[in-house]
Amino acid sequence: MCAMDEKVEPFYDEVIHRNPGELEFHQAAREVLTSIGPVLAKHPDFAEHKIIQRICEPERQIIFRVPWQDDRGEVHIQRGFRVEFNSALGPYKGGLRFHPSVNLGIVKFLGFEQIFKNALTELPIGGGKGGSDFNPRGRSDDEIMRFCQSFMTELYRHIGEYTDVPAGDIGVGQREIGYLFGQYKRITNRYESGVLTGKGIVWGGALVRTEATGYGTAFFVDEMLKVRDDSLDGRTVVVSGSGNVAIYAIEKVHQLGGRVVGCSDSDGYVHDPKGIDLELLKQVKEVQRGRIRDYAEQRPNATYVRGGNIWDIPCQVAMPCATQNELTGRDAATLVANGVVAVAEGANMPTTPEGVEVFLDAGVAFGPGKAANAGGVATSALEMQQNASRDRWTFRRTEQRLAEIMADIHELCFATAEEYGMPGNYVAGSNIAGFQRVAGAMVSLGLI
């Protein structure tokens, strides 16, 4: 990646000074700020209005205590977060993550990324993120319900259809969204189904929302290949993770003619040369809530490697769909040596800066998360539209709209990179396009 413009460096130094110890947030801010020197040269009014300083400072940061009781009667105290980062384009929009790793720096990095990701969709949504250090793994449904009810008892006063609309993320699926909304309805006495997205289909959820992030990532990588006169058809693909995003990325890759030969979880990975058996994977992960080793035990052709590195599997397309900083510079070099031609991030910032640099230097088509995984939040916005109009769309109509949005995001990033003299650089294209849209709105709204 190119060096940071000297006019921008003081702003980055200020981010580090004002947010000590928040390494993931520093990384996310640096990745965006490295791209926007040419924007400031073209739009000097952005500097005059202190847009960079304002855009790097959340509009509101909420931290709260979440007490809850387990099935044995023991009391636990977790910490809850909601960072409402930027509402220049619409109500704050972004997921809730329940995972032991969650802290303020993680939530701020995710919220900062969300600002620009949401802007790229060109839908009226701002950026935010939240969550808790609660670990749902191994907990009963009743324990998860009690935690969600306690979490929402504080969060409800900060959210609303026109204020802040949370969704799911790691550790937060339809079950958790249901418990959260039930408590919101109970406290407010209002059936505001648009206050949360990722809901169950029978009570206001959008068809394709479950599949949206994974589908969108596959659509995006296919668009990147199209401009190179290529496609996913016949390509060997590796997808990290085996959660919601990974499962539906695999599904759409298969539908587009690709063959996914590997996926993973936190314990290790499986290599299935004949192609991942999607129905078996869904049974293991979505029904049995098992581990990826359980897949290998039921699939004779698959090999399970405990604690192994999934990026050692040779492939032509790589899709990191697990978590941040999972794909390092060394991993990127391995993928390039093995013939990778395209990489699309299904997770948020899963590739380290060193890894991104390796891909860009090698001429690999690299789709950063704020563009490639925007399908989830785009479909959340479509769910908000349906809730607001008391309407319900078919699966086909929603998927078609998702495909159109992802194609438009690709075109916007591709065209912006060319406009600024960096053809094919989707990192620069996505950062610049997202930043310009948010900055323009902030200038129009005045000093707020």
Binding site as annotated, residues for NAD(+): 213, 244
Can you name the residues that pair with 66 across neighbouring β-strands?
78
Instruction: Please state, in angstroms and rounded to a whole number, the distance separating the CA atoms of residues 283 and 117.
Output: 31
Can you name the residues that pair with 234 across neighbouring β-strands?
none
Q: Are 219 and 248 in contact, with CB atoms under 8 Å apart? A: no
| Total count of residues recorded for the chain | 448
Q: Which residues are annotated as part of the binding site? A: 93, 114, 117, 168, 213, 244, 380
CA distances from 242 to 205, 246, 249 (A): 23, 5, 10
Instruction: Output the DSSP codes for 308-347.
Output: --GGGS--SEEEE-S-TT-B-HHHHHHHHHTT--EEE--S
Rounded (5°) CA angle 326-332-334: 115
Q: Are 1 and 427 in contact, with CB atoms under 8 Å apart? A: yes
Does 129 qualify as catalytic in the annotation?
A: yes
What tokens does 168 get? Answer: 């799911």
Q: Which residues are annotated as part of the binding site for substrate? A: 93, 114, 117, 168, 380
Instruction: Please state, in angstroms and rounded to a whole number, the distance separating the CA atoms of residues 148 and 130.
Output: 13
Catalytic residue among 108, 129, 285, 370: 129
What tokens does 267 get? Answer: 């314990």
What tokens does 391 get? Answer: 């309407």
Residues annotated as catalytic are 129
